[in-house]
Amino acid sequence: MNGAAAVIVAAGRGVRAGGDVPKQWQMLGGRPIVAHTLDAFARHPEISEIVLVINPQDHGRLDGLETDTVTIVEGGAERAASVRQGLDAVRRSNVVLIHDVARPLVTADTISNVIAALETTSGAAPALSVTDALWTGTDGHVTGTQDRNGLYRAQTPQGFHLDAIRAAHTAHAGGAADDVEVARAHGLAVAIVPGDEDNLKITLPADFARAERILRGRDGH
């Protein structure tokens, strides 16, 4: 491979996280979330290019970020359109890792595992086995249980061969939960690599506190 590209999807509004600005531009450990996410890929020796997909309204928020080597593109009205814009901007790599900007704590090991798996499969993504009991419910009451065997909590980055995932997105009708769903609908095999409990997606206000604790633990404070 000629290195891997990282497409970081950062065009959403993230309203459930609260705050006056979209969550990717809110502060975590004294820096915007997007800065941590960019750093995770910029530091990785197997990442040869980074594409950051932003909302057209957010160009002014780029000030202060280290984006000299990052390709900036505008996203679309929905996530799938933003991913397609990002994929179209990849120029030097044959494989691509698509990552949610709201997962700023992704580790080098997770990135490496996805890239390594792409040597032998058309797609790869990290996930964690579901270990909790699962219920079904209606109107606030438990109505049954769900077998958790074979269930996983999906994470990103989700990696693919570039031409294959471009074709998959072109053919897809829309409405997919993630890029793995798009890939599988196109007939691509996707391998599961080990996920990481710390690779959380910041979604709700309480997630910021947890992410801060993880950051402090990594920094030794």
Domain ranges of the chain: 4-219
Q: Is 86:51 a contact under the CB 8 Å cutoff?
A: yes
Q: Is 20:108 a contact under the CB 8 Å cutoff?
A: no
Give this prediction's pTM. 0.95
166-181 CB burial, b ≥16 within 10 A, e <16: bebbeebeeebebbbb
CATH topology of domain 4-219: Spore Coat Polysaccharide Biosynthesis Protein SpsA; Chain A (3.90.550)
pLDDT by 10s per residue, the chain, length 221: 579 999 999 998 766 666 678 899 999 999 999 999 999 999 999 999 999 999 999 999 999 898 999 999 999 999 999 999 999 999 999 999 999 999 999 999 999 999 999 999 999 999 999 999 999 999 999 999 999 999 999 999 999 999 999 999 999 999 999 999 999 999 999 999 999 999 999 999 999 999 999 999 987 65
